[in-house]
C-alpha cells in the first residue's frame, strides 16, 4: 500500500490495533499501523482467553491458527492461599464447550501476536510502521495527521488510538490524567516445564488468593513451559529495582501461605514488576474522526482475564461499523462507543469486585469464600454467561 492511499491511521500494534487493521484490511480499506517499538511484538508471558473471543477469531478466519499455538486447560480453580482449600471450580472441558460453543484457551502472548501479525502481513491494504512512536495528532477538514517522536508526519482519513493504558492519543483527546493505580504490582516468570519441582497440576489454570497477594499459574506451549504470576500489594513504586528486596517483600506478605505458593515464588525471576491499574468507565471515547479502543478507551484489571479480549472485540466491531457507515466516521465512532461502553464498563467494574475477592481478609473473606464454595457448575456457568456468550457482531 502506498502512503498516499489516504489510509485509516492506527496508533498501536498490539492485539486491538492489529485486529482492527486485519478486519479493515480484509475489506480492502487501507490502513497504516504505527508501533513505537523497533519491531512489532508482544511481552513474552502467558495470557488467557475466554470463549467470547473466538467469535472474533472465527470471523477473521484465524481460529485454526490460534488453536494450534494454544492449549485448553481442564479447569479454572481458585484456592485459598493460606490453607489450600478450593474456593472456585469452573470446568472447561466438554460441559464448558457444550454450554458456550467455544473453548477456553491459554496461550503465549508472543504466539498469538505472531498469528495476528502474520495475517496482517499477507494483506496489501495494511502497511506496518515499526519504530514510529506517535506523540500527537492534528486535524484539518476531513484529514487527520499524526506526528512521531523523531519528527515524521503521516496523514490519513481517520485515527484509531489503540496505544494502551497510557495512551498519548487519549491524553490529547480526553485529557483525564493518569490511570488509577490500585497499589498492586505483578511479577511474571516463565520456566521450562521440566524444571518445575512444585507438586501442582500442570493442566489447569490455578489462582491462589490471599490477603494482599495472589499467585496464578498454568502451562504454555503444549506443556513445555510453565507461566507463573505473583501479585502483591506494595508501597514500593519502582518497577525495576533490587530483586533481593522484591523477594524479601514477597516472602513477608506470603509468610502464612501454603508450601506450594512459597515454592512457586522461589522459582520466579523478580528483577522487574509491573504496576496494575485501570480507569473509571466513561460513556464516550471519540471525537469526530478520532476514536480510541482497547486499553486506551477502557482499561481493566486482570481479574476476568478480559483486557485483551475486549480490545480484540473492539477491533472487529469498529471495523464492521467503519465499513457499514462508509466515509461517515463520526457516525461509525458514535455507534461504536454506544454499542461498547456498557459491556466494557461491566468488565472494568466486575474486575474490581473480583480483585477485592481475591485479596479479602478477616470475616469478609470467610463469608465470600463460603458463598462461592456453595456454587455448582451450572451456577459458575451462569455467572459468566453475560461475558462468555459473546458480543452480537452479526447485528451490525
Q: For residue 104, name the pLDDT band (cuts at 50, 70, 90).
A: very high
Rounded to 10 degrees, the C-alpha dihedral 360/364/370/375 comes to -70
Could you count the other beta carbons within 10 Å of the beta carbon of residue 247?
A: 15
The whole model's pTM is what? 0.95
3 state DSSP class of 78: strand
What pLDDT is recorded for position 3?
A: 46
What pLDDT is recorded for position 1?
A: 39
Does residue 2 have a pLDDT over 60?
A: no
Mean pLDDT in residue range 322-337: 97
Cβ density class 361-371: b for 16+ within 10 Å, e for less: eeeebeebbee
What pLDDT is recorded for position 88?
A: 94
Cell of 175: 485529557
Mean pLDDT in residue range 60-78: 98
Task: Give dist(CA 88, CA 380) in Å, integer.
Answer: 8
User: Which overall architecture, per CATH, does domain 3-178+278-391 show?
Assistant: 3-Layer(bba) Sandwich (3.50)
What pLDDT is recorded for position 143?
A: 97
Instruction: List C-alpha distances in Å: 65 to 2, 20, 61, 92, 111.
Output: 29, 18, 9, 20, 10
Domain boundaries, the chain: 3-178+278-391
What pLDDT is recorded for position 202?
A: 95
Cell of 164: 494502551
Q: What are phi and psi of 24, to 5 degrees?
A: -75, -45
Lowest mean pLDDT among 236-250, 292-306, 321-335: 236-250
Does residue 5 have a pLDDT over 90?
A: no
What pLDDT is recorded for position 374?
A: 83
What pLDDT is recorded for position 373?
A: 83
Condensed to tens digits (0 to 9), the pLDDT of residues 188-204 reads 999 999 999 899 999 99
Does residue 215 have a pLDDT over 90?
A: yes
Question: Scanning the structure block, which residue is given the C-alpha cell 494450534?
Answer: 68
Task: Give dist(CA 336, CA 285) in Å, integer.
Answer: 9
Amino acid at each position: 500500500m502506498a502512503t498516499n492511499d489516504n489510509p485509516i491511521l492506527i496508533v498501536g500494534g498490539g492485539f486491538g490495533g492489529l485486529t482492527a487493521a486485519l478486519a479493515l484490511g480484509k475489506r480492502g480499506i487501507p490502513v497504516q499501523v504505527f508501533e513505537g517499538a523497533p519491531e512489532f511484538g508482544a511481552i513474552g508471558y502467558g495470557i488467557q482467553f475466554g470463549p467470547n473471543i473466538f467469535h472474533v477469531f472465527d470471523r477473521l478466519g484465524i481460529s485454526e491458527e490460534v488453536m494450534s499455538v494454544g492449549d485448553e486447560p481442564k479447569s479454572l480453580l481458585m484456592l485459598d492461599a493460606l490453607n489450600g482449600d478450593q474456593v472456585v471450580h469452573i470446568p472447561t472441558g466438554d460441559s464448558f464447550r457444550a454450554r458456550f460453543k467455544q473453548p477456553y484457551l491459554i496461550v503465549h502472548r508472543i504466539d498469538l501476536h505472531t498469528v495476528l501479525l502474520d495475517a496482517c502481513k499477507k494483506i496489501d491494504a495494511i502497511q506496518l510502521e515499526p519504530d514510529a512512536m506517535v506523540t500527537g495528532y492534528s486535524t484539518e477538514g476531513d484529514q487527520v495527521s499524526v506526528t512521531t517522536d523523531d519528527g515524521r508526519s503521516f496523514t490519513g482519513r481517520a485515527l484509531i488510538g489503540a496505544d494502551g493504558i497510557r495512551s498519548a492519543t487519549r491524553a490529547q483527546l480526553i485529557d483525564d490524567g493518569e490511570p488509577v493505580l490500585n497499589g498492586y504490582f505483578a511479577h511474571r516468570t516463565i520456566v521450562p516445564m521440566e524444571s518445575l519441582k512444585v507438586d501442582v497440576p500442570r493442566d489447569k489454570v490455578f489462582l491462589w488468593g490471599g490477603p494482599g497477594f495472589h499467585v496464578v499459574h498454568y502451562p504454555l506451549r503444549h506443556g513445555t513451559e510453565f507461566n507463573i504470576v505473583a501479585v502483591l500489594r506494595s508501597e514500593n513504586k519502582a518497577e525495576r529495582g533490587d530483586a533481593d528486596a522484591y523477594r524479601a517483600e514477597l516472602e513477608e506478605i506470603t509468610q502464612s501461605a501454603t508450601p506450594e505458593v512459597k515454592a512457586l515464588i522461589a522459582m520466579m525471576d523478580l528483577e522487574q514488576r509491573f504496576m496494575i491499574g485501570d480507569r473509571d468507565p466513561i460513556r464516550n471515547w471519540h471525537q469526530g474522526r478520532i476514536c480510541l479502543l482497547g486499553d486506551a478507551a477502557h482499561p481493566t484489571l486482570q481479574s476476568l482475564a478480559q483486557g485483551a479480549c475486549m480490545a480484540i472485540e473492539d477491533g472487529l466491531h469498529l471495523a464492521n461499523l467503519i465499513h457499514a457507515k462508509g466515509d461517515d466516521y463520526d457516525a461509525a465512532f458514535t455507534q461504536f462507543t454506544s454499542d461498547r461502553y456498557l459491556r466494557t464498563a461491566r468488565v472494568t467494574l466486575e474486575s474490581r469486585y473480583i480483585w477485592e475477592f481475591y485479596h479479602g481478609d478477616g470475616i469478609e473473606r470467610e463469608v465470600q469464600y463460603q458463598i462461592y464454595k456453595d456454587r455448582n457448575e451450572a451456577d459458575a456457568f451462569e455467572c459468566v454467561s453475560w461475558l462468555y456468550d459473546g458480543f452480537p457482531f452479526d447485528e451490525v
